[in-house]
Amino acid sequence: MTLIRDLDQASQVARGGAISIGNFDGVHRGHAVLLKQLRQLADEVGGPAVVLTFDPHPASLLRPDQAPVPLTWIERRADLLYRLGVDRVIACRPTAELLGLSATDFFQQVIRERLDCQAMAEGPNFYFGKDRQGDVEMLGQLCQRAAIPLRIVEPLDNQGQMVSSTMVRASIADGQIEAANAMLTAPYRISGLVAVGSQRGAGLGFPTANLSDLQVLAPAAGVYAGQTWVGGTAYHAAIHIGPNLTFDEGQCKVEVHLLDFTGDLYGERLEVQFNRRVRGIVKFASVDDLRNQLGRDIATVRNEPLS
């Protein structure tokens, strides 16, 4: 479905529905609980289920040094939101003008006038307006005055902690892919451009696609089992992240070996899915030891199911 890039376009195709505003980074299970309520509200008011998000994160403009590394690029995020029953995804670029609106002005100008909102669903930690001056209590008061139904949806509990993008990000940064995937609505993916590498993998019998220009957070150093897609065909993928210790290379790289694939991928953008962590990275005593371990890694990856 089409990704709406600005509020002018949204004013034409996303009016009169139920709205939820937020970053929705990662689109995790807590988001899914909220979006289920959004879908119900949209059906009740007879309008579209609308998510208003931001690309890039507002912190990239307000606090660039504190902006979190994204978990999803915007097209991936929109696709995951659509899968959960959302009808329209608006990805606003945060501008000084938009972020400078007071909470009441944002509610009046964006939620009411631009989008003709008929219902809202938000989490308890929702903030809006300049300097995050608006919270759910203020939102409740504004919605009540405007006769707009509002549902505050409690976050999903995960072993005593709420599921959040921060929790997911911490698991990925620590290499705990299975834990992250358990919190997400779909397995974690990265996206990157295939660049020319050292060609060492090909010399070992395991050619790799070296990814650059990553759009999202890369997992911690390690070897992972996953998959990728070329021309609509899914391939098992053995993914190595980190420096090549055996050859005393300190540069952290993301290298992807596609099982049973032959062809040139240079300059292509690959989506790579992470299913589970296989092992950490180690320095091998010899190239033969490394080659033998790579063979075992490939055998492990091959036994993983493709989704």
Q: Do 199 and 269 reside in the same domain of the chain?
A: yes
Residue 167, in any domain of the structure: no
The dihedral over CA atoms of 139, 142, 146, 152, expressed in degrees to the nearest 10, equals 20
Q: Do 266 and 125 reside in the same domain of the chain?
A: no
Neighbour count for residue 236 (Cβ, 10 Å): 21
Weakest mean pLDDT among 64-78, 110-124, 239-253, 262-276: 239-253
Indicate the average pLDDT of the chain. Answer: 93
Identify whether the C-beta of residue 301 lies closer than 8 Å to the C-beta of residue 203: no
Look up residue 298 and give its two tokens.
């490939």
Residue 249, in any domain of the structure: yes
Q: Do 14 and 143 reside in the same domain of the chain?
A: yes
For residue 282, what are the domain limits? 187-303
The residue out of 127, 152, 177 marking a domain boundary is 152
pLDDT at 201 over 70: no
Specify the CATH number for the domain of residue 66.
Answer: 3.40.50.620
Residue 181, in any domain of the structure: no
DSSP 8-state code for residue 34: H
Give pLDDT, residue 78.
97
The residue out of 152, 169, 197 marking a domain boundary is 152
Q: Do 285 and 229 reside in the same domain of the chain?
A: yes
Residue 122, in any domain of the structure: yes
Residue 34, in any domain of the structure: yes
Q: What angle do CA 189, 194, 195 make, to 5 degrees?
A: 140
Domains contained in the chain, number = 2
pLDDT at 204 over 90: no
Do the bridges between strand 3-4 and strand 209-212 make them parallel or antiparallel, or are there none, so unpaired? unpaired
Residue with the bigger pLDDT between 59 and 123: it is 123
Any residues with CB less than 8 A from the CB of 272 and at least 6 apart, and which? 189, 190, 191, 192, 211, 226, 227, 228, 237, 239, 256
Coil, helix or strand at residue 289: helix
Any residues with CB less than 8 A from the CB of 255 and at least 6 apart, and which? 197, 201, 208, 209, 210, 211, 239, 240, 241
Query: Could you read off the pLDDT of 49-58 as tens digits, one per residue?
Result: 999 999 988 8
Q: Do 104 and 217 reside in the same domain of the chain?
A: no
Q: Do 232 and 135 reside in the same domain of the chain?
A: no
Q: Do 58 and 114 reside in the same domain of the chain?
A: yes
Look up residue 267 and give its two tokens.
């300059």
Specify the CATH number for the domain of residue 262.
Answer: 2.40.30.30
Residue 254, in any domain of the structure: yes
The DSSP result for 140-203, as a single string, is HHHHHHTT--EEEPPPPEETTEE--HHHHHHHHHTT-HHHHHHHBSS--EEEEEEE----HHHH
Q: Do 208 and 72 reside in the same domain of the chain?
A: no
Neighbour count for residue 225 (Cβ, 10 Å): 22
The residue out of 152, 178, 196 marking a domain boundary is 152
Q: How many residues does the chain have?
A: 307
pLDDT at 205 over 90: no
Q: Do 134 and 195 reside in the same domain of the chain?
A: no
Place 62 in a pLDDT band, splitting at 50, 70 and 90: confident
For the chain, the farthest-separated pair of C-alpha atoms sits apart, in whole angstroms, at 73
